[in-house]
A and B are shown apart, each in its own frame.
Chain A
Amino acid sequence: MTNPIADIEKADVILITGSNTSENHPVLSSFVKRAVKFRGAKLIVIDPRRIKMTEFAQHWLRPNLGTDVAWINGMMHVILKEKMQATDFIQNRTEGFEALQERLEKYTPEFVEGITGIPAESLIAAAKLFAGAKAGSILYCMGITQHISGTDNVKSLANLAMLTGNLGIAGAGVNPLRGQNNVQGACDMGGLPNVYTGYQPVSDLAVAKKMEEAWGVTGLPTQPGLTVTKMLPKAHDGELKAMYIIGENPMVSDADLNHAEKSLKNLELLVVQDIFMTETAKIADVVFPSACFAEKEGTFSNTERRVQRVRKAVDAPGQCKDDWWITCQLAERMGYTMNYDSSQAIFDEIAKVTPSYGGITYARIETEGLHWPCPTADHPGTPILHAQQFTRGKGMFHAIEWIPPAEQVDDDYPLYLTTGRVLYQYHTGTMTMKTDGLNERAPEAYVEMSRKDAANAALQDGDMVSIASRRGTIHARVKIAASAVDGTVFIPFHFAKAAANKLTNAALDPVSGIPEFKVCAVKIDKAA
């Protein structure tokens, strides 16, 4: 997030898109609901499902799946036409405006309606509401990113924020809601194929030299590596021989699971380190048992870039070890000593090699976390990014053209499928499914359909159906719900027994490598 969570209550207008906030970020959703109910903020929800947050919204716009660039361009078209753009901000803080303006010309509300299905007048009203805000906050989640156009979608939201001057000020910002406790930290720490900690590029020779000195090694690789979505095909083709998978379960979370399974089974050596015997661990050659969050010391970085302490409350069971200890033991055996006596010692090394974490110490975050960038010991942290300038200096507008999703409905597969989470389960369920009460509330997969779609297929609530895409078939019960919109069904992806990702499309965003989980075509038949 460019802005802290508390800022949501300072916004005049909040735009939520591609985030089922009340189910996936419930505590954060309270900030939005309070802003609407008690501070008079206006909420715009743009989502293909009639999610709970729409009940708090002034406008709910319902776009066809995979049409985000179109409605965002449409909103910007309206804002320019109404001359509601932030002229000073555009002039002083950005570049590339002319190219954007040119691109937006054809995205009239009527043209956009043809693509998105959003009525022109609704788009105009929402655009004017957002542009009229003193502080407008944009919140988004995987509904924006898990598309072949995911990167374009995010850039488009950044365009909208810059066009309306909603960056670098309280109550505004472009705010991705991170879905996992430390996905921000995993990225910050260089758990990515192209960067070291703090997003220092692996291809930058000066950075490589710095890391070589800090680590006492030579010959660090300077070519970016493979993303997870590229690793699996390489494993499938036999080019990748071994994988060391720590705390991940790609056998349920990956797109096109049938392919993922074949790929992992093709490895010479698969090592999985986890707290449970996950679907991925089951096909491993060696499994290492690790300690969970309540059993160790360390830090997580949350969605607002706040680095916070994790503390040990209980002893880990059996022979479980801290993940860092296990990895260091492997390093030692492979001829490189990684010797630390505590997580704090590791953190101190992180601070030394990572400018944005340079001023953070355990002592400083003992009672309250700090927002990075926090470069020095006396720096107060940075709750709001881009206050004076952007990382690259001026903010770059990207003139973006809408492209349709990789898969469309047709006569054979006439319904769109989108996937997501439910309140009571989490990701692949390895943690939440150990709590009986959560299973009682959300026991199994279902396919959420509109009353009309169900009637068209002669289906009743609770019927067991087969849901098939071009890649696989699963079985689940029909749940007729008001949140479903005609023509689009929804399946939560938590449940391995009816893994929605056997259906989803592995077509990737060319830049980020994200699979298009949010759009594919399916057919539904009553199970025999």
Chain B
Amino acid sequence: MNAQQTILINGRELAFNSGETILEVARRHHIDIPTLCHLKGTTPTGACRICVVEVAGARTLLAACATPATAGMKVQTESPPVVVARRLILQLMLSSGNHNCAVRGSDNQEWTAFQLKVQAEDGSDELCPVWGDCRLQELAYRYQVSGERFDATPTRYPMETVNPFIIRDFSRCIQCGRCVQACNEVQVNNAINFGYRGPHAKIIAAGDRPLKDSDCVFCGECVQACPVGALVEKDVRYAVRPWATGKVRTTCSYCGVGCQMDLHVQDNQVVKVDGADAAPNLGSLCVKGRFGYHFINSPERLTTPLIKENGQFREASWEEALDRVADGLKKIRDTQGGDAIGVLTSARMTNEENYIAQKFARAVLKTNNVDHCARL
């Protein structure tokens, strides 16, 4: 590698490593080139062309995500031709489906009719389910375009709602292919791909089957990758809005991989889970981690100490329940010795809680009868 190699982006001379794309060099130096189809860690496809940049000497605009940096290359990322090209791409995308955020149109008849049509198809009287959390919408604002320039495309494929986890809304799909890459290149479940051609293009599971009848394992990597509202969690759609939730980074409580995840919280409830882009999982989750959070708020949770009397549980105060157990353990320890007591700690609890449990067994009960279900 020649450390002296540089590229000029917007007049700034920037060093690059051989093999780096224009996009990678720019991002590393905090120059913002917008992307839609680009998915970190996967093969660039250049499908959406929103990342086009002007390169001196090139006959056309080039996709920054797929063009390697070369020494002396002169790049403009927001020049007038670039902006014109991006606006056109966005206008085409916005007219291509049910993009009923406010950027779709103005307050004329057409807008009302369009809005009513989308509401009928969605069964909701709200704006788009990902309003406020949509890369396309962000770019429409950034480049100040609406969807009015071209006639709206009719909805070609009905929504798929027959699986328990993911709503596939083809009317909002912009064919960027991030979901296909997430499935084939990140999780490698190979369940979905591009199907049909031209205006009939559709992301399909094998044989254009519903996800539930395909190789899909509902990891939800595609949902997390979708930049628009084409793939949304069933329980989240129209129920969870980003401005109403807070996020808390934590560690998944299922298997031992220890995926980092963000819990989205609304009204003291976990309402959505995302994979965090951090080691060890780099954004990925599985179906349990992403969708298996309902136990937290289950009505079946134990909520009060219970004491069994005559074969039946009755509610008790902490004072009473703790006294009962402490007295019972004390009696057995003092008469039979601590080794007449066994403690099972838990592979589900925190380190701190396991530490306290074994300290209790050893220092208080005076026994080493401490184990957990690592063996089971």
Contact = CB atoms under 8 A, between A and B. Distances in A.
B74 interface: no
A302 B373 contact: no
Contacts of B141: none
A191 B354 contact: yes
A192 B279 CA distance: 28
A294 B371 contact: no
A186 to B, nearest CB: 5
Interface in A305-324: 306-315, 317-324
A343 B344 contact: no
Contacts of A333: 322-323, 326-327, 330
Nearest to B303: A318
A436 interface: yes
A271 interface: yes
B303 A317 contact: yes
Contacts of A398: none
A322 to B, nearest CB: 7
Nearest to B218: A441
A461 interface: no
Contact of A320 (B187, B302, B371): B302
B256 A179 contact: yes
Interface in A220-249: 220-221, 223-229, 231, 234-235, 239-248
A60 B294 CA distance: 38
Interface residues of A, number: 151
A293 B250 contact: yes
B342 A426 contact: no
B325 A181 contact: no
A226 B254 CA distance: 27
B287 A438 contact: yes
Interface in B171-229: 185-188, 212, 217-219
A151 B291 CA distance: 36
Interface string A489-523: 00000000000000000000000111101000000
Interface stretch (A24-32, A92-100, A118-126, A472-480): A24-32
A211 B359 CA distance: 10
A194 B368 contact: yes
Nearest to B335: A241
B307 interface: yes
A349 B363 CA distance: 15
Given A177-B256, A184-B256, A292-B295, A321 B359 contact: no
B40 interface: no
Interface stretch (A109-117, A280-288, A408-416): A280-288
A215 interface: yes
A450 interface: no
Nearest to A343: B352
A173 B308 CA distance: 50
B360 to A, nearest CB: 5
Interface stretch (B53-61, B102-110, B260-268): B260-268
A165 interface: no
Contact of B303 (A24, A38, A320, A322): A320
Interface stretch (A66-74, A385-393, A427-435): A427-435
A27 B281 contact: yes
Contact of B373 (A6, A193, A250, A310): A250
B305 A319 contact: yes
A246 B370 CA distance: 11
Interface in A403-426: 423-424, 426
Given A240-B341, A241-B340, A435 B258 contact: no
A352 B48 CA distance: 54
Contacts of A242: 328-329, 332, 340-342
Given A313-B270, A513-B375, A350 B342 contact: no
Contacts of A318: 301-304
15 contacts: A22-B217, A220-B362, A220-B363, A221-B368, A225-B342, A228-B342, A243-B341, A271-B329, A287-B302, A306-B280, A309-B249, A346-B355, A369-B279, A437-B234, A440-B164
Interface of B: 163-165, 185-188, 212, 217-219, 234, 248-260, 263, 265, 268-270, 278-281, 284-289, 291-298, 300-308, 313, 316, 318, 321-330, 332-333, 336, 338-364, 366-376
Given A242-B328, A276-B298, A330-B360, 10 more contacts: A182-B256, A221-B338, A244-B341, A253-B373, A292-B295, A302-B258, A331-B364, A423-B217, A432-B288, A436-B164
